Amino acid sequence: MSDRVAIVAMAQTRFERKKGGERFQEMVWEVVKQVREQTGLDFHKPGQIDSAVTCSDDFFDSRTISDAPMGDLVGAHLGPEEKVAQDALQAVFYGWVGILSGHYDVSLVVAHCKESQASSRNLITHAAFDPLFSRGVGLDYLTAAALQARAYLHKFAIPAEQTAAAVVRDRRHAGLNPKAQEQRPVTVKEVLSSKPICDPLRELDIYPVSDGAVAMILAREKRAKELTKKPVWILGGGNCYDSYFLGDRNLADSYSLRQAAARAYQMAGIKNPRPDLDLAEISAQCSYQELLWLECLGLAEDGKAGKWIAARGTNFDGEFPVNTSGGALAGNPLLVSGMARAAECFLQLRGEAGKRQVKGAKRALAHGTTGPAGQHHCVMVFSNE
């Protein structure tokens, strides 16, 4: 393995239900400008930012080649830019790979998504299903999630109060995060009496429609130490695809998340994730996923995460803080979620998380997922040491 790689700068927009006054290019420029200012880097090559990884989606942007409007914003004037069209933690992963390969020294990674532009984001994720067998039965990521919720909740007989507790926790954390979208605290009762959307999921169980962008600068060890006093090192990363048809998978579990986590842990030298990590940021698009993903990451016993969350064990001041940012349930667009998780790890590990700061945090995990009911997962582990 070559040099170590660190995140040296990060900026995120405030996440909002509808950024009606900004085009997606403007959201991107807002965060790119900030990471340039933080590091003093510009786009002149060589020696400055020497490559860019963008993350966006032709469907959500309603643009064929959705990275074409990015070139002007990420310094790709006669230079390299590559687009990852998955959850943005994969873009961070790919930025890391580009430096490990020896090809680049300093990479800009930026992800954006304006879910508010689509009349229905379910219509977009419906198109992710094959037109032959799956579209006809009306599947989209929401209905797929509802099927998975049923399978998981039934298997362990998990009461709705426990999944609601995850929403309560995330909203409480969001109230402490000035960048979070839904900052108003909610109660278990409010979650359980919110509008039914797709049984068993209710309005507050589902991540809200959201707009926003995140940017980071990644650098090789030598450059990282020049660029910041507080680099956040990438210790390891792993990802994995599951099978496509929902019926081919055990929806009450996640094979691909267990694989992705095992790969990341092995590389990061993590033998027992719970004591070896100080906090985790998990991409849950629905409340039950806060439980299921936590278990598949090996951070909670199977079927027991809900009880732990309800007992406030995963609060920012609890024994193992989860989603101190407020998580995706407080509002992050589909593609940006995994990178917003990594952004929170960055803040926590630098001691810059304000009122929600986890004391003495040294190692943090970020998780991102792509596809229906968590078909693809990415896990990365960061450290400030």
Question: Which residues contact another protein by CB under 8 A?
Answer: 1-2, 51, 57-59, 62-65, 67-69, 71-72, 76-86, 90, 93-94, 97-98, 100-103, 124-125, 127-132, 238-245, 255-256, 259-260, 263, 370-372, 375-376
Residues near 291 by Cβ (< 8 Å), separated by ≥ 6? Answer: 152, 158, 162, 163, 166, 300, 305, 306, 309
Contact 200, 148 (CB under 8 A): no
Kindly state the helix (H) or strand (E) to which residue 8 belongs, with its residue range: strand 5-12
- In total, the chain counts a number of residues equal to 385
In the complex, the smallest distance separating the C-beta of residue 6 from another protein, rounded to whole angstroms, is 16
Q: Rounded to whole angstroms, how far apart are CA atoms 176 and 304?
A: 27
Q: Please, what is the minimum distance in Å from the beta carbon of residue 82 to another protein?
A: 5
Nearer to another protein, 65 or 311 (CB): 65
**Residue 147 identity (one-letter amino acid):** L
Taking the C-alpha atoms of residue 203 and residue 286, their distance in angstroms, rounded to an integer, is 10
Contact between residue 64 and residue 58 where contact means Cβ atoms under 8 Å apart: yes
In whole angstroms, the minimum distance from the beta carbon of 195 to another protein comes to 26
Give least dist CB 340 to another protein, A.
Answer: 19
Q: Least distance from C-beta 173 to another protein, angstroms?
A: 29
DSSP H or E stretch at residue 291: helix 287-296
Our CB check for another protein shows the closer of 84 and 279 to be 84
Residue linked to tokens 């037109």 = 131
Given a contact cutoff of 8 angstroms between Cβ atoms, the answer to whether 309 and 293 are in contact is no
The residue among 177 and 370 lying less far from another protein, judged by its C-beta, is 370
Shorter beta-carbon distance to another protein: residue 55 or 345: 55
Shortest Å distance, C-beta 179 to another protein: 26
- Residue with Cβ nearer another protein (100 or 188): 100
Closer to another protein by CB, 69 or 200: give it: 69
